[in-house]
Structure 1
């Protein structure tokens, strides 16, 4: 794959669109910019992932679900460290085989590969994650405003999932939609789901064409180093 510069990596665009449970008087949300047609997904080694443990539940993905971490990320330079922290907690404290989610998107729209999508994710709440492609938007969107770049990154990885797994945007849901005992993915992000914004962005990508390519090795390490340096 040809080299991508920093500007290319950050040009992710998306928007969230879903009906959610327990949300009243959600504000109207419109897309601030069109989804980017291409981007990269940074491999696990780039953020310093541990190996996954043996086991887990093999599954076939047939739907898509979005989460937030419920912890603010005021400094995006810390994203790689934050993902490592999630993985340590999920493996060491929760006893799960790996970090709970299949992909993550940071505040600048960078997309990170997490758990092997062939293995069902994990959740501390009461829903069966079998069949769900889980995407984490890093941050606490009960307190923070989701950025347009982050929405765009989420749309791009969800568009990729529809093609990769042969599913449709009609399967898109938020965590609180599949189990109403949680406020995840936070009020601000949920508003984009309720308004249909994310689904519209994904549908726009599917209609116009897009590419999401894995980037691994030295090239991915350089991109993560640039993120950590704030460039």
Structure 2
């Protein structure tokens, strides 16, 4: 049954992400794969730090993510590891983007994320892109999905462009999101593309 559900989620997501960059921002939110749809469970709200989104912050997985890796299995393992090994509320990120540009819900956006470094992610919408971008390049589907998601979040939470940044911009203890993805942050690619999406009036 789990395999059948995973295949169904994958098929639906492939259909939804076709020509995703042309979709309006409202459609971006609708195509996010919700926690129950990838087999995850809701976090205990009584343990959560609630927050209001004021920043959008990019992370990478920091580990290899080979083509053919099952993102649903990865998410379930990440949720289990986050709770049992790290003793965190949930997956530390609010959204996870896979190799095909599919966007998955992680931690409830109403709850502050977690980090292994010294910065406090209270107020930050955390986006993780799978892969280790110290070693590999992000593909165009991933870049497009990051832009779509950042633009949707910026519009929904009224986050200014200057508050779109990455993990390493707030911490001296990490190279996250990896040199090959950070280049797009550093050179203003994401802010520029998000501005273009917002200028389309949704």
Q: Taking structure 1 as the reference length, what is the TM-score of the superposition? A: 0.75
> Higher relative contact order by CA 8 Å / sep ≥ 6: 1 or 2?
1
Residues 28-80 of structure 1: CA deviation (Å, up to 9, x unaligned): xxxxxxx6545411111121112213412111111110000101111254111
Separation (CA, whole Å) in 1 of partners of 2:76 and 2:20: 23
Aligned with residue 35 of structure 2, among 29, 38, 44:
44
Residues 124-146 of structure 1: CA deviation (Å, up to 9, x unaligned): 11101111000011111111110
Separation (CA, whole Å) in 1 of partners of 2:163 and 2:179: 20
Residues 88-133 of structure 1: CA deviation (Å, up to 9, x unaligned): 1110001011110111111111111111111100001110111100
Higher helix proportion, which one? 2
Deviation at 1:173, TM superposition (A): 0.9
Match of 1:84 in 2: 76
Deviation at 1:207, TM superposition (A): 0.9
Separation (CA, whole Å) in 2 of partners of 1:118 and 1:174: 20
Separation (CA, whole Å) in 2 of partners of 1:41 and 1:181: 31
Separation (CA, whole Å) in 1 of partners of 2:74 and 2:186: 28
Q: What do you get for the CA RMSD once the two structures are aligned? A: 1.7
Shifted more, 68-77 versus 122-131: the winner is 68-77
- Equivalenced residue count is 186
Structure 1 runs not aligned, ≥5 long: 14-34, 211-231
Match of 1:168 in 2: 160
Aligned with residue 109 of structure 1, among 98, 101, 107:
101
CA contact (8 A) 1:36 1:152 kept: no
Q: Taking structure 2 as the reference length, what is the TM-score of the superposition? A: 0.86
Aligned with residue 188 of structure 2, among 184, 196, 212:
196
Q: Describe how 1:1-231 pairs up with structure 2 within 5 A.
A: 6-13=14-21, 37=24, 38-39=27-28, 40-53=31-44, 54-210=46-202
CA contact (8 A) 1:70 1:185 kept: yes
Deviation at 1:7, TM superposition (A): 4.3
Deviation at 1:10, TM superposition (A): 3.7
